[in-house]
Amino acid sequence: MTELLFRGGTVHTADGPKQADVHVTDGVITRVEQRLPVQGRVIDVSGMYVLPGGVDVHVHSRDPGFPDKEDFASLTAAAAAGGITVVLDMPNTVPAVDTAGMLESKAAMARSKARVDFGLWGLIRSSTKTDQLEAMAAAGAIGFKAYLAYSFSVSRKQVLYSPGTDDPDLEPPADYGTLAQLAPAVAHLGLPLAIHAEDPTVLAAFRRPISSYEDLLASRPPEAEAVAVSAAAAVARESGAHLHIAHLSSSLGLQAAEDAMRIGTTLTLETCPQFLLLTSDDFDRVGSAMKMLPPIRTAADREALVDGLERGAITIVGTDHAPHTDEEKSLPFEDVPAGSPGVQTLYLSCLQIAKDLGDVWLAPRWVSEAPARLVGLEGHKGAIAPGFDADLVIVDPKAKTRVHAEQMRSRQRHGVLEGMDFDFAIKDVYLRGESVANGAPARGRMVRPAMVVG
């Protein structure tokens, strides 16, 4: 039996921050109380915050498929260093995760490399059938993701960044019809239905060559997000499925989502640190790292998203951690692939955003509690309470961190937040009672939702 006592910290609990000791037995939290008797190894965390490990609902491991961009080892090393103890990996790896067999082989590979726990999203293609969803759920999928604007190369088994052409190898993107056909099954399985919310008909109308950031913004108007949110919400409402909007980026998209919630749609919103901290004005300083889809928009969009988070309309902050190689990110702007890494800076960004809003303790709700609930992990992850995994992040609220490329563990070290300063430092990170912040063996386990029907 291994016992640990985290003594003297300020602990995030369901009732708010509390001066308490945290006792851990064999990787599970057993007691959270003031002045517990010494039992086992004492870890002095006085003056520190003790927070629940982060759950990043939106990462792209690139594994299998693009080891030059990232793999499960480098992804989870970056996560561990940043206080993220569960990563939920998107299905657009290659071959894509569109069947139970693919999910199982990706899980086996990830288990051999993961430094933190992980969960896997399954892909919804326009050709996906109900029985494939059921099989993926039985194999442990934490939810399903549909890319409304991205076609699928059948020969390469790859999600592409474009809506497609007449090429017979390209299967068109999943559309609202696909969602309407599959949502009842997703609702029955009790898993979230996540969408990349950009409407392809709006994108087609605004399509243009992309040689500047202005072109990028003009080609991905907020109407594309709002239309996709409204239409998918109508479908979800009818079936009772839980709709999850990935990487919400615009004020218009937020309005569409809030309208849908007001009339009874079960809907969660995820936004990302880059949309809460940056605006299009940062492009001159940041450059091509800022090319991502959807794009970082105007100051008014940023303000609306921060406000939505403060009001609790947006409950989840994930990263859309999407690394590409330096070589790819140095191409002419038109050819630069979209995406930036971010998993290592998620917790610190959220602590800063929460502090700036006047309540630092909101951060663990956005990056741990609500994400764990989204994918049915409540009871094990997302809180510091007896019975939960001892996934703990020790944060020094008096130290500072500047984001330096050399400290990034992701294979792509240059993210959009490079150079940013945070009023906090992560001192240590524990995964089920073992310190993982400074390098760890591959002990990550696959997480599965608690209640899956069928």
Residues that bind ligand NCD (CB under 6 A): 60, 92, 196, 292-293, 320, 322, 338-339
Per the structure block, which two tokens stand in for 198?
């950009």
Cβ closer to ligand NCD: 66 or 430? 66
Cβ closer to ligand NCD: 12 or 302? 302
Task: Give the whole-angstrom CA distance, residue 370 versus residue 78.
Answer: 21
Cβ closer to ligand NCD: 225 or 391? 225
Report, in Å, the least distance between residue 246 CB and Zn ion. 5
Cβ closer to ligand NCD: 296 or 431? 296
Cβ closer to Zn ion: 21 or 56? 56
Q: Nearest to residue 130, comparing CAs of 174, 178, 175, 190? A: 178
Per the structure block, which two tokens stand in for 181?
């056909």
Q: Are strands 158-159 and 152-153 parallel, antiparallel or unpaired?
A: antiparallel
Tally Cβ neighbours within 10 Å of residue 156: 13
Q: Nearest to residue 342, comparing CAs of 264, 271, 252, 254? A: 271
Cβ closer to ligand NCD: 159 or 390? 159
Q: Taking CB under 5 A as the rule, does residue 291 contact Zn ion?
A: no
338 binds, among Zn ion, ligand NCD, none (CB under 5 to 8 A by kind): ligand NCD
Q: Say which amino acid occupies 251.
A: S
15: buried, middle or exposed (CB in 10 Å: 19+, 13-18, 0-12)? exposed
339 binds, among ligand NCD, Zn ion, none (CB under 5 to 8 A by kind): ligand NCD
Q: Taking CB under 5 A as the rule, does residue 145 contact Zn ion?
A: no
CA dihedral 302, 303, 308, 311 (to 10 degrees): 150
**One residue of 115, 196, 324, 365 binding Zn ion per CB under 5 A:** 196
Report, in Å, the least distance between residue 292 CB and Zn ion. 9
Site for Zn ion in 202-241 (CB under 5 A): none
Q: Nearest to residue 92, comparing CAs of 303, 221, 264, 246? A: 246
92 binds, among ligand NCD, Zn ion, none (CB under 5 to 8 A by kind): ligand NCD
Per the structure block, which two tokens stand in for 292?
């991502």
Report, in Å, the least distance between residue 353 CB and ligand NCD. 20
Q: Say which amino acid occupies 128.
A: T
Helix axes 299-311 and 251-262, enclosed angle (nearest 10): 30
Q: Taking CB under 5 A as the rule, does residue 12 contact Zn ion?
A: no
Cβ closer to Zn ion: 125 or 196? 196
Candidates 194-202, 265-273, 283-291, 401-409 — which segment interacts with Zn ion by CB under 5 A?
194-202
Q: Which helix (H) or strand (E) holds 55?
A: strand 54-59
Report, in Å, the least distance between residue 340 CB and ligand NCD. 8
265 binds, among ligand NCD, Zn ion, none (CB under 5 to 8 A by kind): none
Q: Say which amino acid occupies 173.
A: P
> Which positions touch Zn ion (CB under 5 A)?
196
